[in-house]
Amino acid sequence: MLELFKAGGWVMWPILAASAIALAIILERFWTLRRKSVLPPGLGEEVREWARHAHLDPKHIEALRSNSPLGEVLAAGLDVRRRPREVIRERIEDTGRHVMHRLERYLNTLGTIASAAPLLGLLGTVIGMMRMFLGILDHGIGDMTQLAGGIGQALVTTAAGICVAIPALVLHRYFRGLVTAYVIEMERQAMALIDTLDTVAHPPPAAPAPVRRRSAAG
């Protein structure tokens, strides 16, 4: 492995750095985007129960805000629960955009690595071909060692760039899809909370009591 790395020349160093950064991002995102940490099971129903029974003191809301991304979105709605429905919805949407931005943290970097790694490999290929042709000019076509060195550098850097790019691209798309699914679920939970707050603020009118008919004998 070390010999292959040396054969690739100096281009292998930026490819190695890109692979290390990509690995760090992948591990961090796998840990941060765990479902139970983003969408704790049962949290939405628990918050709706708070709203129905008016158990909404500031301590409850602050604890909810620091609980998870879903809790932060729901807490934003509870902050303005006494305002009109449209105001509550706008506040939730504003908070949701900030939460989504945090969930997508480092994904642009991972996507950049997925795009740049093959280009670094191509750069190594070009440098290897240049080395090979310059060797031909200096020593003629009979020096097979010079030819092999240039071709080896071209192949090694190309393969290294592709090996970094493929998992980075696949996992970049996976994390994007995961964040989208989480955002859709948070929207569903937020709309359910808005409906609950609306029902608490504007309860349906009670049905009128039936009128008893007086009997003819009475």
pLDDT digits (tens, 9 = 90+) for 75-133: 999 988 888 889 999 999 999 999 999 999 999 999 999 999 999 988 888 887 777 67
Q: Decide: 117 and 165 in contact? Cβ < 8 Å.
A: yes
Alpha carbon distance 160, 12 (integer Å): 8
- Report the pLDDT averaged over residues 60-82: 90
Decide if 22 contacts 168 (C-beta within 8 A): yes
Residue 36 scores a pLDDT above 60: yes
Residue that wins the pLDDT comparison between 211 and 27: 27
Q: Is 100 exposed, middle or buried (0-12, 13-18, 19+ CB in 10 A)?
A: middle
Would you say 181 and 166 are in contact if contact means Cβ atoms under 8 Å apart? no
| Among 44, 32, 106, 53, CA closest to 72 | 44
Reference 79, options 98, 97, 61; nearest CA is 61
Encoding tokens for residue 19?
Answer: 């692979």
pLDDT of amino acid 5: 67
Whether pTM > 0.95 for this model: the answer is no
Average pLDDT for the chain: 84
Q: Is the pLDDT of residue 218 over 50?
A: no
User: Where in the chain are the domains?
Assistant: 2-201
In this prediction, residue 205 has a pLDDT band, given cuts at 50, 70 and 90, of low
Q: Does residue 181 register a pLDDT over 80? A: yes
Query: Between 209 and 155, whose confidence is greater?
Result: 155
